Amino acid sequence: MLRYFNMNGVFAIYKPSGISSAKFLDRVQATFTESKVFAHDLQQARAKILSDLNTDKKWRGGRAEKKASRTKVKIGHGGTLDPLASGVLVVGVGLGTKKLQFYLSECRKTYETKALLGISTTTGDSEGEIITHNEIDHITSEMVKDATKKFIGDIKQTPPIFSALKVNGKPLYEYARQGLPLPTSIKVRDVTVYDIKVFEDDLLSTDHEFKTLVSELDENGVPKEHGLENNPTLNDSPLYFSSQYLEKCEKEEVSSEVGKPKILPSDKDLPEKLPMIHFSSDVSSGTYIRSLISDIGRALESSAYMVELIRTKQSEWELGKNVFTIEDFEKDERIWGAVLKKVLDDGGKDIDLKSEFEKIASEVAKESPEQDSHQSKKRSIDEVEN
C-alpha cells in the first residue's frame, strides 16, 4: 500500500455550474479528509494540535482530543467562481495555501462567455432582475466586433452594483434595492483586457438554448424594472474604453463617443430568443466579466447580460490539460493519489492529466494480480487454521 507524505501544493479542478465555490471546495475537502492519501499528513496535523492544546488547562478533559479529531485537510482556493460560472478553480492544499495570493491578485485568466443582447439586469447576468429593455434591431455583426476592440488594453471598470463590495460598511446592493444614491462613487478598478476573440459562427444567433428573461412583478402587479430603470444607483456609472483605444481615436481624430442605450418603446416587444454574442477574453486578475459584457452592450447603444461563463485558463492551469474533475477523486485512491502527488510536487504546468492517469492506472493494474494472489493465499491458510 502506497503511503503519501507532505501533500502540500497547488492544483486545479473543474467547478461545475450550479454550485458555489465554497460548497464545491467543502466537497473536495471532505473527500481528501476521508481518504488514505492524506492520512499521514492529517495524523501529524492532529498530533500537533493535541501537543499545542494540552498545555492549556481549558482544553483538558477530552476537549483537545475532540478538536483534533475534527481537524480536516487544510484547503483554500485562488479565486472564486460564481454559482452560474464553471471552469478552472485553483486549489491550495496544506502549505500550498500560502501560494494562493498570486492566483487571487496577480495572474492572467481566460474566460469563454455567452451573453444575450437587449436586456440589462441588476447583477449583469441571468440571475438578476431586469432593469431595462433595449433596442437590438440596429446591431450588426461588424458592430459587435468593433465594439469589443474598444475594451482591449488598459481599462477602468465599475464593479457590478449587485456585488459583495461595500460603501461605508453597507453592501452596494442595499443602496440599489432601496433606490438610494451612493454616498460616494463606486471605486473603479484598473484592469487589463489582453485580448477578446469573438466566435463568429454563432454571432447574433437566436438558435440557442437560452430563454429571454421575463419581467418580475411587484406586489402591485407592476414590472419591477419600472422602479429600477430610472434608479441612478444602477444606471449612472460611466462607460470606460481602453486607454489604447482612446489614444488611437485621438491620433486618427475620430470621436470615441457612443450614444446612450436605446430604450425599447412600450408598444414593442423583444423576440422570444435574443441575439447572442459569444467570445473569449484574456484578462488580468480583478476583471469583472459581467461588467465587461454590460459595457459591450452599452457600447452597442443597447444592453447585454451574461448567460454562461467558463473559466478556461488561470495562469498555468488549463481545461483539457492539467485540471482535475471531481470524478477523478472518485477513482481508486492508489491512482488519483499518485497523480495528485506528482502535480503538487512538480507544479502541474507540463503534466497531461489524461496521460498521467492512464500511466498510473496501468502500473496499479500490474500490481493488483500479485496482491490478489497474496490475499487469496492468506484466506486459504485462514480456512485451514479454522
Residue 184 in this model has a pLDDT that exceeds 70:
no
What secondary structure letter does DSSP report for 186? Answer: P
Per-residue pLDDT, averaged over 347-374, amounts to 81
In the 3-class helix/strand/coil scheme, how is the chain assigned residue by residue?
Answer: CCCCCCCCEEEEEEECCCCCHHHHHHHHHHHHHHCCCCHHHHHHHHHHHHHHHCCCHHHCCCHHHHHHHCCCCCEEECCCCCCCCEEEEEEEEHHHHHHHHHHHHCCEEEEEEEEEECEEECCCECCCCEEEEECCCCCCHHHHHHHHHCCCEEEEECCCCCCCCEECCEEHHHHHHCCCCCCCCCCCEEEEEEEEEECHHHCCECCCCCCCCCCCECCCCCEHHHHCCCCHHHHCCCCCCCHHHHHHHHHHCCCCCCCCCCECCCCCCCCCCCCEEEEEEEEECCCCHHHHHHHHHHHCCCCEEEEEEEEEEECCEECCCCCECHHHHHCCHHHHHHHHHHHHHHCCCCCCHHHHHHHHHHHHHHHHHHHHHHHHHHHHHHHHHC
Summarize pLDDT for 94-146 with one digit per residue, the tens.
Answer: 999 999 999 998 999 999 999 999 999 888 899 888 888 999 999 999 999 99
pLDDT: which is higher, 25 or 371: 25
Domains belonging to the chain, first-starting first, are 9-103+317-368 (no CATH), 108-311 (3.30.70.3190)
Confidence class for position 354, pLDDT limits 50, 70, 90: very high
Summarize pLDDT for 41-62 with one digit per residue, the tens.
Answer: 999 999 998 888 888 878 877 8
Residue 86 in this model has a pLDDT that exceeds 90:
yes
Summarize pLDDT for 264-323 with one digit per residue, the tens.
Answer: 998 999 999 999 999 999 999 999 999 999 999 999 999 999 999 999 999 999 999 999
Nearest to 235 by CA among 246, 243, 225: 225
Summarize pLDDT for 136-183 with one digit per residue, the tens.
Answer: 999 999 999 999 999 999 999 987 666 556 777 776 666 766 666 666
Residue 228 in this model has a pLDDT that exceeds 80:
no
**Alpha carbon separation from 305 to 119, 227, 292 (Å, rounded):** 6, 19, 10
Grouping H, G, I as helix, E, B as strand and the rest as coil, residue 189 is: strand
What is the distance between the alpha carbons of residues 202 and 200, in angstroms, rounded to a whole number?
5
Give the pLDDT score at 366.
86
% of the chain at pLDDT higher than 90: 66
Residue 221 in this model has a pLDDT that exceeds 80:
no
Average pLDDT, the chain: 87
Residue 384 in this model has a pLDDT that exceeds 60:
no
pLDDT: which is higher, 173 or 204: 204
Question: Known catalytic residues?
Answer: 82
What is the distance between the alpha carbons of residues 159 and 191, in angstroms, rounded to a whole number?
11
What secondary structure letter does DSSP report for 384? Answer: H
Residue 385 in this model has a pLDDT that exceeds 60:
no
What pTM does this model have? 0.88
Identity of the amino acid at 80 = T
Confidence class for position 375, pLDDT limits 50, 70, 90: very low
